[in-house]
Structure 1
């Protein structure tokens, strides 16, 4: 498997994202557009990023610092690996957020979690991450 959030890994994540109707199709229904970055807690900048247009991932790769982000998600390598193996349900997401195991360096967690049209696909994205080979 490619290193987590590397250019190769992010491209694989983009493929899996677009194959999952509960993620890409659900977000397409609300015309969801965003730039999401992922990385390790404590690092200066995220490792990988993905651009979403109308719910579909249109590009992904290493983060080079030049793209404005809407979301920047950070966690420890151990937490990421746990969520990749087991996924993350709504209760787990709440626990991860309140315990600061999942940090939103950029992005409004409270606004996202209050909107089921966004919250359910967000939770599903962790399951999809686990499919990256």
Structure 2
């Protein structure tokens, strides 16, 4: 298994993302375009990024100065817990309010209030478990 959020891991994540209708198809319906960074709390930059165009992941790569729409951070231990047992809406809300999950870029509150984005965001954690 590739190191969490490494370029190899991100490429595999992109493949699984596109294979999940509750992610790619749902986000395609709202024309979702983003560069999403994933990384570890306390690091200066994210480790990896997922490039999404019209809901589909068109790239997964190591962070290399890309401008991000979202930059999500947590401890490596926390990420591994979520990958092993994906959280639901309540678990993510608690993680955000307790600062176990941090959005360095992006607005968690507005995203989670929009069911068209909240459902796919929650689904992304179970997709991570397939990588």
Task: Tell me the TM-score normalized by structure 1.
Answer: 0.97
In the other structure, the counterpart of 1:39 is 39
RMSD between superposed Cα atoms in Å: 0.4
After superposition, residues 93-132 of structure 1 pair within 5 angstroms as 93-132=92-131
Deviation at 1:100, TM superposition (A): 0.4
Aligned length: 131
For 2:107 and 2:4, the matched residues in 1 are separated by: 24
- State the match for 1:5 in structure 2: 5
- SS in structure 1 of the partner of residue 99 of structure 2: coil
After TM superposition, the runs of 4+ consecutive aligned structure 1 residues lying more than 4 A away are: none
TM-score with structure 2 setting the length = 0.99
Unaligned segments of structure 1, at least 5 residues: none
How much has 1:88 moved relative to structure 2? 1.2
1:27-85 alpha-carbon deviations (Å, 9 max, x no partner)? 000000010000000001000001100100001110011x1100000000110000000
Equivalent position of 1:30 in the other structure? 30
Instruction: Provide structure 2 residue ranges, at least 5 long, that are not aligned to the other structure.
Output: none
Alpha-carbon distance between aligned partners in 2 of 1:95 and 1:79, rounded to the nearest angstrom? 13
Task: Work out whether 1:63 is the aligned partner of 2:63.
Answer: yes
